[in-house]
Amino acid sequence: MLLKTLAVGLLLALAEIINGNIRVRILHRFYALKRAKTLSLLLGTAIIYAITWLTLPWVNPISYLDCLNVGFVWLTIMLSLDIVVGRYLFKYKWHKILDDFNLFRGNLLSVGMLLLFISPCLVFWLQMKVMV
């Protein structure tokens, strides 16, 4: 299950990189920064939950504890990606990286990370309801 979880985590990371590019290259042109971030959060959440819905049966968690573990691995992948890319590719200072998680400044990255973390549990529950 771990290798499948890692594979899906990398797929999610790729999808979120594309979402970030859409926000920067398209949404910022047509909308104010706050609205672009909100739209990007909504699009990113839809992407996360679509990928989770399609891949969770393949990952095959058998309990909510398994789902929390899957969510934790995905969260770790995404946090690592954000920190490494921000720090070493874009050369951001630590305060800038941490500021991206600050809800009080209108930054929604922490909300997205929370939604990513709980996505396996929520999708597991929904798929159990659908299967009944």
What SS3 state is found at 123? helix
Digit-coded pLDDT (tens) for 8-57: 999 999 999 999 999 989 998 999 888 999 999 999 999 999 999 999 99
Specify the pLDDT at position 131.
Answer: 75
Every domain of the chain and the residues it spans: 2-131
pLDDT in tens, 72-130: 999 999 999 999 999 999 899 999 999 989 999 889 999 999 999 999 999 999 999 88
Identify the three-state secondary structure at position 61. coil
Q: Which residues in 99-112 are b (16+ Cβ under 10 Å) and which e?
A: ebbeeeeebbbebb
pTM, whole model, 2 decimals? 0.92
The set of residues, in sequence order, having a beta carbon less than 8 Å from that of 5 and lying 6+ positions away, is 59, 69, 70, 73, 74
Q: Whole-angstrom Cα distance, residue 24 to residue 127?
A: 34
- pLDDT in the model for residue 132: 61
